[in-house]
Structure 1
Amino acid sequence: MRRMLAMVAVLGLVAVACGGGEATDAGPVPGKPAGSETTADPGTSTTGPSPTASGTPTTVPASTTQVAVWLVRGETLESVTRTVPRVPGIGAEAVKALLSGPTTAETRSGFTTAVPKDTRFIGLVIDGNGIARVDLTRDFESGGGSLGLTLRLAQVTCTLNQFPSVRGVRFALAGELVSVFSGNGIVIDKPVTCDSYREVLGRPGDTASFAGIWPFATKAELDAYAGGADRTYRDPVATARDFAVKYLGMDNPVDFPSRSTGPGTVEVPMGFRYGEGRTPVPSPRATFVVVVRQLGAQGASGPWTVVEATASNILVTTPKAGDEVGSPVRVTGQAHAFEGTVNVQVREDGMVAGQALGRGFVTGGGDQLRPYSGDITFRSPGKPGGAIVLTELSAADGQGILRATVVKVRF
């Protein structure tokens, strides 16, 4: 029965995000309450100039959500987090946030943009095959050499390709589909993905080797946040709680007294608040531990980042933290869960609850810790780093998360 629930949950999460066209529901918005969405209604396109956007992660009110946008630092791209309106056309909002350019804090951290400042958003439509057609003004192709043109195409492509339902991107200028971009003759007559621009993505030393999983998956994101005024992630317990809600998708988790295990490292035990039928658990207990570290500045002003989560009932032998993995990835270890079922997701940096490159499950013991082994296939990542997320779901509804183990990996 539990396996059937797991498979139903996987099938139910097949999604299309952030545009219009023959789209389907992409599931919960990353880090948002149930009922919010990262997708656009079928046939929807949003128009108008890009708004001014915040450049740092914050505690997001119900009317907003967080997305990643790709900016330029040096000659490569790195992602930063932006807060945008929580509307059906979230992909359009992400593009408009990109067109607004880097914030003051991001500029101080060395970020720029290759997108001409006069570029305006016209519309976005996603067809039934997951191909996003983004329409921009002709200013988008003005000026710049070969590298600059490639960077701006990559910025828009990666910003849209973060949504799992977007399988490719086509560009239109003033309503006309583009096959050859600018006078430099860059051919874009077929859908492109973030992986198409791997040569200009952040170097592995800048991203994949960074220990952070969430909310900061790169040193650049951490530095940009540190230069801002938001205080949310300068507290280790608040960071762990947000991780449980926004990254894992838990409903109102319980945190227990934290403990320092060394300079700039804190372990925060977490548990679940509700049992079957959302009945409050009389005496919640810790079921897994979230490990947070200060990977930049230390002390009261230093931001905290989740580097792993561990559950004693879900032990992972392979892959180990920092391992390079490809599809399919062999996941092995020991587990004790209801009917032995442990759900597995492969995510790239920037993905949160409801988003994954690939999903599956493994089976350990239903009575005690027993070995498990399974291969999880996943689509091509657009970033060099990510995580393997293993969770035990509630036996009551197959959805509520009871415990989790999360391992940082490279692609």
Structure 2
Amino acid sequence: MAGRYQPLWPFSTQEEAARWRDTQGEDGDQAWHLDAARTALAFTRDYLGFTEIDRAVKTEQEGAHARVHVGYRSQEGDRPAVAAVVHLMRYGPGEDAPWEVVGTDDTSFTLTKPAYGAEVSSPLTVGGRISGVDESITVHVRRPGSDAPLGERCCVPAGGRKAPWSATVDFTARPGKTLTVVVSTGGHVATVERFAVTGVSVTS
């Protein structure tokens, strides 16, 4: 995972993942670390707090990578609605290595600024493109180990077809730490209907 990908959750370092691997078994209370779909849902519900997103609609795995389409029950049809495609990687070699969230694959709601892996400071400008009507975007800055967001910006109006959106958020974090920038929108049929994340590090 070194270099290209940012470790977002549940482990902050390779050492943390290796320590879990050495002390936990496949039958332990935290065996969900070995299941990409369960890890993606735990990330979405427990870490991001999007509790209405309660199902893995589809899981695609290729080697050390997995992409889990997480979603919720839609009121507009029989099929569940997909809120995001969560990208995970094995944090270490072998099939007994735990899964780690490294980002999302964005579709109709994108988060392109800041760039993935960028060094950032506060205040942080975030932005991307969105397709939709009467959207209201919320921005959170998060880090594992902190229950509350390190920074938050609410209710940024947006809408149109691939329309640009932008917002500025203040946050407080120590230099060198990897952060997760989270953007979400909803309010039509669910509190959170779509979300996207990216990984950045705080300027030293």
C-alpha contact (below 8 Å) 1:387/1:409 kept by paired residues: yes
Distance in 2 between residues matched to 1:305 and 1:338, nearest whole Å = 33
> Structure 1, residues 1-24: CA drift from partner, whole Å, max 9, x if none?
xxxxxxxxxxxxxxxxxxxxxxxx
Larger RCO: Structure 1 or Structure 2 (Cα < 8 Å, ≥ 6 residues apart)?
A: 2
User: Which residue does the alignment assign to 1:408?
Assistant: 199
Give % identity. 24
What secondary structure sits across from 1:401 in the alignment?
coil
User: Which residue does the alignment assign to 2:41?
Assistant: 241
For residues 47-86 of structure 1, what are the structure 2 equivalents within 5 Å?
none
C-alpha contact (below 8 Å) 1:314/1:390 kept by paired residues: no
Q: Which residue type is aligned with residue 408 of structure 1?
A: G
1:303 to 80, 83, 98: 98
For residues 9-408 of structure 1, what are the structure 2 equivalents within 5 Å?
211-229=6-24, 230=28, 231-249=31-49, 250-251=51-52, 253-260=54-61, 262-273=62-73, 282-299=78-95, 301-351=96-146, 355-361=148-154, 362-365=156-159, 367-381=160-174, 384-395=177-188, 400-408=191-199
Q: Which residue type is aligned with residue 56 of structure 2?
A: D
What secondary structure sits across from 1:297 in the alignment?
coil
C-alpha contact (below 8 Å) 1:347/1:386 kept by paired residues: yes
What secondary structure sits across from 2:110 in the alignment?
strand
Residue 248 of structure 1: how far off its partner (Å): 2.2
C-alpha contact (below 8 Å) 2:5/2:102 kept by paired residues: no
Question: Hey, which of these two has a bigger chunk of helix by percent?
Answer: 1
Runs of at least 5 residues in structure 2 that lack an aligned partner in the other structure: none
Q: Which residue type is aligned with residue 360 of structure 1?
A: R
C-alpha contact (below 8 Å) 1:338/1:395 kept by paired residues: no
- Give the CA RMSD over aligned residues: 2.6
C-alpha contact (below 8 Å) 1:233/1:304 kept by paired residues: yes
What secondary structure sits across from 1:242 in the alignment?
helix
Q: Which residue type is aligned with residue 388 of structure 1?
A: V
What secondary structure sits across from 2:146 in the alignment?
coil
Larger Rg: 1
Structure 2-normalised TM-score? 0.83
What secondary structure sits across from 2:195 in the alignment?
strand
Structure 1-normalised TM-score? 0.43
Distance in 1 between residues matched to 2:176 and 2:143, nearest whole Å = 6
Residue 370 of structure 1: how far off its partner (Å): 0.4
C-alpha contact (below 8 Å) 1:209/1:385 kept by paired residues: no
Question: Hey, which of these two has a bigger chunk of strand by percent?
Answer: 2
Runs of at least 5 residues in structure 1 that lack an aligned partner in the other structure: 1-205
Distance in 1 between residues matched to 2:145 and 2:131, nearest whole Å = 29
> Structure 1, residues 334-391: CA drift from partner, whole Å, max 9, x if none?
1134513211011134335xx21111143331x4220012211112447611110001
What secondary structure sits across from 1:239 in the alignment?
helix
